[in-house]
Amino acid sequence: MQLRGIHHVTAIAGDPQENVDFYVGLLGLRLVKRSVNQDDPGTYHLFYGDALGHPGTELTFFPWPGGAPGIPGVGQAVAVAFAIPAAGLDYWTRRLRTNGVTIDGPVARFDEEAIVFSDPYGLNLELVAGADTGDRPLWSAWDDAPVPTEYAIRGVHAVAVKETRVDPTGAFLTDTLGFRLAAEAEGRLRFQAGEGGSGALLDLLPQPGERRGRVAVGTVHHVAWRTPDVAEQERWREAIAQRGVSITPVIDRFWFRSIYFREPGGVLFEIATDGPGFTVDEDRDALGQRLILPPWLEPQRQQIEAVLPPVRLPQFVR
Ligand code: ZN
């Protein structure tokens, strides 16, 4: 039994319109589902990804307009890296700078090159070009995307987590979740899920002495890992519970099914099924255009729509 890599990363944003403008208008991801936080239906849950929001391409947000900024620190996922083709480094450097984004790099990262920047609320992002980042299936292309297909983001490449020390998180990753330590350089331990490669990477950054972070605006809320189906998810649930880790029952998120638990360092993890996916309740062409509620929230649509701020998809300039 192997986790297939990152399913999605969920972070907290401020203003939802600013969030859409940045991730759709600038980074060229597609808004594939406009919904609400199922645990707090008066706030949005916005899902970005490739044309269909395939598992492995998704970054999702809970926008908390006017919310307090988070505190970066240990026990947190502190950066989200996206895969881009090697030929895209110059394009993205120009595109980000032209749009007023301050960037560092390209910096060398193992055998890859990364451009480092942050989103409007301080979430650390990276665009990474490596040997295999351009080989990922080009699902990203969607009609009207603002980024030319040849440079488009291919999906989530890696997450970085900060911990006080390598263990117990490192041991939990390898002994319970089946990760393997793949590389180590400059205070960065790279673990890979399953067969590894772009999209299946977790970089652990040991930071002894650094304070614990607090999850709020501009920080990662949780990291979800891929499992093919509910049967395997149930086996993961048992395996993790056997280690004495507190874990939720299987929760139906409608577009996938989820279980949640904390790794020993405190980062919230999820294991999510690959299906059924975002086209289960909308046509491919219609994704992201209107507010979609899971069936059990549909009776409350009027009250929910009344409290959500309007969000418009940006007009694109190539
Ligand atoms: Zn999630």
Strand 251-252 with 256-262, pairing: antiparallel
The pLDDT of residue 136: 84
pLDDT confidence band for 314 (50 / 70 / 90): confident
Tell me the CA–centroid distance for residue 47 and ligand 1, in Å: 10
Tell me the CA–centroid distance for residue 259 and ligand 1, in Å: 9
The 10s digit of each residue's pLDDT in 301-310 is 999 999 999 9
CA dihedral 78, 82, 87, 89 (to 10 degrees): -30
Contact 277, 287 (CB under 8 A): no
* Domains of the chain and any CATH numbers: 6-307 (3.10.180.10)
pLDDT confidence band for 134 (50 / 70 / 90): confident
Tell me the CA–centroid distance for residue 215 and ligand 1, in Å: 15
pTM assigned to the model:
0.97
Tell me the CA–centroid distance for residue 119 and ligand 1, in Å: 19
Model confidence at 137: pLDDT above 80:
no
Tell me the CA–centroid distance for residue 163 and ligand 1, in Å: 21
Q: What is the mean pLDDT of residues 92-106?
A: 96
Task: Specify the DSSP class assigned to residue 90.
Answer: H
- The Cβ of residue 187 has, within 10 Å, a number of other Cβ atoms equal to 10
Model confidence at 140: pLDDT above 60:
no
Tell me the CA–centroid distance for residue 288 and ligand 1, in Å: 18
pLDDT confidence band for 317 (50 / 70 / 90): very low
Q: Going edge to edge, which strands form the sheet with 188-192?
A: 104-109, 112-118, 124-129, 76-83, 155-163, 201-206, 188-192, 180-185
Tell me the CA–centroid distance for residue 98 and ligand 1, in Å: 32
Strand partners, 164: none
The 10s digit of each residue's pLDDT in 36-47 is 998 899 999 999
- Angle, CA of 182, 183 and 188, to the nearest 5°: 125
